[in-house]
Structure 1
Amino acid sequence: LLNLLNSFAGVTADMYADDLTIIVKGQSREDAIPTANMVLEKLHAWSRENGLAINPSKCEAAWSTLSTHTESDYDREGKWPLEVAGCKIPVMTMGASRTTKLLGMDLDPRLTLNVAATKQCVATSQRISQPLRCIAHKEAGPSLHDLRTFVIGYGASKLRYGSEVIWAVATDSAQNETQKTYASLARIVSGVPSTVDPESALLGANMPPLHVLCLRARLSIFENARACQTDWMRRPPPEPPPRAGFRISPLSRDELYAFADEYTRDYGTTQNPPREERFFRRSTPPFSAASAQQVTIGEELPLDHSITDVVELMREKRRVSEEALAPHSRRSWILATDGGVDVPRRQGLEWCSHPRIPRR
């Protein structure tokens, strides 16, 4: 699909997970919109042939003018509409008298980075805390374990979305606002009243501090950029390849993890304070991340290959697996997945103590 869309003159297409962005260049709106409609027709035809579902209600468009002359603020969406799958998409104008919104964010070209980051922090935290509080306080809601999984997975990942970039430039008030929302998530998870202090709530919910999560998300940017550079051709593409000339200086995982360990020590997040002892019960990143690569990934089990009967073979597999797991049954197992666990950067770590899970 990306090859098809990028083959048109003046059209650039980019995709991340299931979000497709198409940029069309033109001398004027009257010139660009027919081109964009032609591209959207091709996209619609390709999607029908390949079973790709497009939701027109979630499609958004913005028109940005780089010119010495100011663009008129008049509403011309009706005259030059964009269409996909028979539905019209409104086209917002950047710099118009009303603020343009795209993907739920205000696009105001007059804002500086700090102000924009601060606005986004506050807006995100308010938007997320409202539905989560509703779900948490509803009597006939999900069971406690489901609720905990949902709140940590959905709430924390949404709060971290973009934080790895804007956390460093956000003002103190914006950081405090985000921290407050994170603490309220912890109170929901641990079931304590709203008067409990944030540290106790985090401890009760067994959730690490937000700045540590933001730091790890920030570090994973470097890891992902490194992965893009080295093994792009050998893996299925979750995102488009970096542009030509994309280079990043080599940085080993050990260096990154050592940096994370040092950073947590600087913040006083060490193994000594008794109130944080629960976080250090298992050696899990980021608190002892330097030793994270010493995990055993798999082990070959001795099977009797002379068995031909399927049922007997299954029994033999079960017996061998249980024997291999017996000495480890009281240990915690760490599962590293490449799929969509609760971390938005396609890396997930999940704890489980159930002896049957690793066998599956």
Structure 2
Amino acid sequence: LCGQHHVFSLAGLFQDKNARPLALSGHVGFDSLPDQLVNKSTSQGFCFNILCIGKLETQTQLLQKNHTVTAGKGSNIYQHIVDYIDTQFESYLQEELKIKRSLHNYHDSRIHACLYFIAPSGHSLKSLDLVTMKKLDSKVNIIPVIAKADTISKSELHKFKIKIMSELVSNGVQIYQFPIDDETVAKINTAMNGHLPFAVVGSTEEVSIGNKMVKARQYPWGVVQVENENHCDFVKLREMLICVNMEDLREQTHTRHYELYRRCKLEEMGFRDTDPECKPVRNMIIKLQDALIELKKCERSTFKFEQLKRMHAEEKSKLEEKRRSLEEEMSVFSKRKAATELLQAIKEDKK
């Protein structure tokens, strides 16, 4: 709604005495607009893609939704992940640049949240983790997560969290901070920002606790429940991702990370809106003219090459013809020579 109000005269509607008045069957008002948006979103559905990065046994894996891509090993491992994220941005950009685009039913494969799993060493971040997160922080919303949090004590875990956040700040790594500008979620997001990085425990096994089965890890000394907030931060992570900040993650991906990628790509094409003297159409025409000049140069070079090639073929053909002529003359000469020698031999025999 743009704040414009239109007033229509209803006097003509009541001139007809036979007009039948109708009672409203329900509430009518602008406050029903959010319900309409919710109903539309739930009926059409929406995309929310999570990228998990971490070390699995001896291989570094990049997992996204229902498939796994092996990124490889080495100090430049982050490049595979960066290329993957850029590929998703490029696919969306190509769809936007189409003349007949259909973004309403386009399957958005852009990464909205990146869960970066950190090994529970209890000491500090690895240099590879810092480099990787630094390369990714301008392309995706990074949420650091400590994996296998049940392998270290609570006191060590608390110190480890403080150490991780200190190293991220000192190295200039921008992780995703839960927004606090909205009053409805400011309190819970402020509290959750203090719990970063989340320490989680994962399990696919169900253990009987009391009268119900829960996801947990069974140890000789006890049970670690996945969904028990006293044991790990899995519930906090799930609530922040799904219940509270999903739309903000989607919005940050589109308005910040994707817009940065889109701006860089358009600047490479000659489009700049920060320069008042910038004229994109003129720049494209100049680039097209330069390309045509280069094309004509290539055509001239190709023509000269073809001409030289044709001249070479003609010279070669002439030389081949001359060679065949010489071979024929040599053959005739050899025959005459043989005939002359034969006649001389006959004459000598007669004498």
**TM-score of the superposition, structure 1-length normalised?**
0.23
| Higher helix content, 1 or 2 | 2
Larger radius of gyration: 2
